[in-house]
A and B are shown apart, each in its own frame.
Chain A
């Protein structure tokens, strides 16, 4: 059941540059999308979300873009900082299964000095 896919298992980026994380989904009933960050031995931490009625949401260094026609969303982190090194999960929820978050496999981000 691969309704949410993150095809890049890892990403390495230099400090100060932009990190771009991608996520694809297949279920057209999804209407809310979230990004979580996870450090080892901790729970996922909510970062930013976007409703399907928008195509962009920005919060500080984090911006999420949604392309509904392509069933694709991305997370931009600008500028990247060493503390951003973590696993990032894309998650989605839909009107047909409210509250049930479907997670992607995650992308490990490493920010190098």
Chain B
């Protein structure tokens, strides 16, 4: 069964450093998303991406964040200058077109630890 994959599974970085989290969405999906879950809190929407541009972003997704689809298979989330409060699980998701567009399929997540 096709699945969303994410790398790395765990990333430790120092405050102020740049990180890039990588995702390979399900191959025939056209919508891509990033969410995060801070420990003990809800899963929060960050950004949605379609047709090579951002469709919607949350208040969390400020100028420190960017997304890119550098080729036909990868979808990346970059945090330019990490802060302690960026420590969280980051989940990538993807969805199909049409009726299936609402049903988002999630990857296993990347645990980001900022020290």
Complex contacts, A98 vs chain B, CB 8 Å: 55-56
Contact between chains at B102 and A34 (CB < 8 Å): yes
A-B contact count (CB 8 A): 59
Given contacts A44-B43, A89-B43, contact A101 B104 (CB under 8 A): yes
Task: Kindly provide the distance from the CB of B46 to the nearest chain A CB, expressed in whole angstroms.
Answer: 10
Per the 8 Å Cβ criterion, residues 13-57 of A in contact with B are: 32, 34, 36, 41-46, 49
Interface residues on A, range: 20 to 34
Per the 8 Å Cβ criterion, residues 66-115 of B in contact with A are: 91, 93, 95, 101-109
Measured CA separation A103–B38 after assembly (Å): 13
Could you say which of A46, A93, A97, A103 contacts B43, with CB atoms under 8 Å apart?
A103
If over half of B's interface residues share one DSSP class (helix, strand or loop), that class is named, otherwise mixed; here it is strand
Could you say which of A42, A43, A93 contacts B102, with CB atoms under 8 Å apart?
A93
Given contacts A99-B31, A99-B48, A103-B43, contact A42 B108 (CB under 8 A): yes
The 6 A-B residue pairs with the shortest CB-CB distance in the complex, in nearest-first order = A43-B106, A103-B43, A99-B48, A32-B102, A100-B45, A44-B106
Between A and B, 9 residue pairs with Cβ closer than 8 Å are A32-B102, A42-B109, A43-B91, A46-B106, A89-B43, A99-B95, A101-B33, A101-B104, A103-B43
